Structure 1
Amino acid sequence: MIKKILIANRGEIAVRIIRTCKDMGIKTVAIYSTADEDALHVKHADEAYCIGPPPSTESYLKYSNIITVADYANVNAIHPGAGFLAEDAQFAEICEAHQIKFIGPSITDIATMGDKVRARETVAKAGLKLVPGSQGGRRKNSKKGTVDTAEDAAQIGIKAVAGGGGRGIRIAENQPSLLNLFHTAKAEGEAAFGNGDVYIEKWIEEARHIEVQILADTHGNVVHLGERECSIQRKQQKLLEEAPAASIPPKLRNEICKAAAKAAKAIGYTNAGTIEFVVDKDENYYFLEMNTRIQVEHTVTESITGIDLIKEQIRLAMGDQLGYNQSDVQIQGHAIECRINAEDPANQFMPSPGLVTAYHPPGGIGIRVDGYLYTGYTVPSHYDSLVAKLIATGRDREEAIARLKRALSEFEIEGIKTTIPLFQTILNDERFRGATIFTNFLET
């Protein structure tokens, strides 16, 4: 039985987890760097402990500091949130060695699915189709002739094996640029993830990014909670997500969701996870990657299913059965999420940390805000720029868009620049309103 959870994260996801823990009667422990002393998750937790200076390598990524606090506070579980240590198999192994439950999948699943080449090999055996690419998997060398290219690829994607969040990805227009960008992707992968291995796959033009939410217990039960549309991106980083996906027909939607659930069951996956696909203009779909953690965009799935995914993660970590089957999962309405980042869209998306001089979130029917801002709070410059998530839900997509437009007009954040104006432009775009959405939407 989990009675006390340390949240090994910060920002809106830490606040989100604390709220569900309170609903479940579970005590919470927050950790924070000196830059986050006044953060909302620190104020909301039952206990809070400083674990180091602002750099994440000396605080939120410091295994020893986190485990020391966990032992001192006598927690029996750690929730890693999204990002930081959420997909770190070594950290999960350390938790297990200290008899602390890591709220997530097994160590093996984290390690396997976190390595993109091993993940491709694993899901291929489970029946999922792969984007054409490197036949030999990872590539360590870049001498001429050693880099496999996808057949007939006008553009070629080079990806870090351990990549994530859009990092470690380069798009080559031709063979000469491929060899140059190979080095760049390797260097970025090494710096960001400690692994310079890369692999190559065909870059699909006019692609749609579709992902499926999976829940699985330790008793062999697996369900999917529908799919999410994540095609509105900037530099391979998601900006706006919605569920269900309006850009694909119902038959394809059902096929993708069933394939994802079947694959999760075949590999013996447990807890919450997301299987991501790329869909081409001919409606062929290919496995992209699997995230073995809660996703930032989990909120749109919650909004159309009524299922608290954080609660499910905790229940499944305790060994509970799902308690429902696929036919019990009902999709109702439509939900859209905007990631409100502290960035200036009018100035090449430059980060905009600083003092929040006024903060008034929107409200009304069908509006949800997950964030960590308040008037007088100073957004630090050391971390991810996400400061809030605005989610609108309606009976259909048209109503969800109308509510989201109204909420964006009400949302007041002063003192820093945010991406609110960008979303107002997107929602008024005829292509978006007609669900003609591809991953190059912003560029075109």
Structure 2
Amino acid sequence: MTTSGAHQDAAGVAARGWWWWERRRSVALDVGLGLVSALECALEGVGFADRAGVPVPVGVLFGLVVGAVLVLRRRWPIVVVLVSIAVTPAEMGYLMGIVGLYTLAASEVPRRIIAALAGMSMVAVMIVTFVRLRQDMAEADFDASAWYVPLVSVIMTLGLNAPPVLFGLYIGARRRLMESLRERADSLEQELSLLADRAEQRAQWARQEERTRIAREMHDVVAHRVSLMVVHAAALQAVALKDPQKAVKNAALVGDMGRQALTELREMLGVLREDAGGAGQVRGVAPVPLAAVGMAAAAAAQAAADAGGGSEGPCLEHVAELVEQSRQAGTVVELVVMGEARVYAPEVEQTAYRVVQEALTNVHKHAAGAKVIVRLAHREAEVAMQVENGPSDGAVADAGLPSGGNGLVGMRERVTALGGVFVSGPTDAGGFRVSAVLPTGGVV
């Protein structure tokens, strides 16, 4: 039962009129102890009336009233112990004294008060026992040693007072420990609830990031091919009647690009299915950066293609083919390679290829008819690429390609994930320039 539940139960008990009791069994126990104590004191009141020289009914009534005080032990334990000490000379209230001391020791009363009342009870019991034994020995004409009466008095005093006090202290300490553990469990439950809420927020954030990642990956893989297909389709429409042979050539190019787009799309979907199979095992874990996931997806796609006997994945060797495809679409593209070409890590080569691919795609979308220069520089510890286009040719019709606004963002994330530098922006001549530098030492 939690602390709030205990408070609710206490409130419900108070509303039912049980006074200070929290449970029905507590009422039954205290009332039963009160009845037994009243009967005990009533019987002992007969002897008290004879010794005090008062009528027996008065002694019995006095015992009933005194014994019934035990019913108040949970509410006023100090009062019960004081009454038991007060009636000790009358040789009544032994049960009330034992139960009262236990209740007092188990309650939240300060320890100094418990010690003081327990000491008073022990003194009272010892004096009464000592006097009573001396009187009984004198009446019986029993001659005992000098240590007999004190020893018996001490034993009886300790037997009547020590066990209830010690047991009450133990029960009180155990009760406080359980209350502390219950409060700690409540706090842990609240913390777990907060952690569950945070985990749900992280999972929602991870799902959103996954949607964004998939959108950008699909954009990188398919957008370039589709853009070239649209450009060739426009050219095909323009020359279909004037130059049938050129129209046939353009149609073949559109078909080849469509097949390439479908191949890359199929490979990408295969990687996404593999990622989805492993995502359930790491649910709630934040995803890796977008560019790193993209590189892993491209590498997995390349491995799948190699295993199936297909073409190799995108790399720097394919940049020339990429440029040639743009030339076939009618764009004037110049490729400049500086330095000695060499093989780099797959992540570096694929990122460099994607940067050039996306930059050329943006030229087809936003700068129809512009002249383009693609520069590729192989340096000692890095590889640099730059795609710069001039102003758009107004005489060339715009292909009307849509833009999702994710191209530059995706390139920047890919490059920075490898520890590189990415810069893009307009040129003074009215064109646009995309530049990237990648370290060749591997992923940072």
Same fold (TM over 0.5): no
The structure that has the greater radius of gyration is 2
| Bigger RCO (CA 8 Å, 6+ sep) | 1
Bucket of the pairwise TM-score, normalised by the shorter protein: under 0.3
Instruction: Give the TM-score taking structure 1 as reference length.
Output: 0.23
**Structure ranking higher in helix proportion:** 2
Instruction: Give the TM-score taking structure 2 as reference length.
Output: 0.23
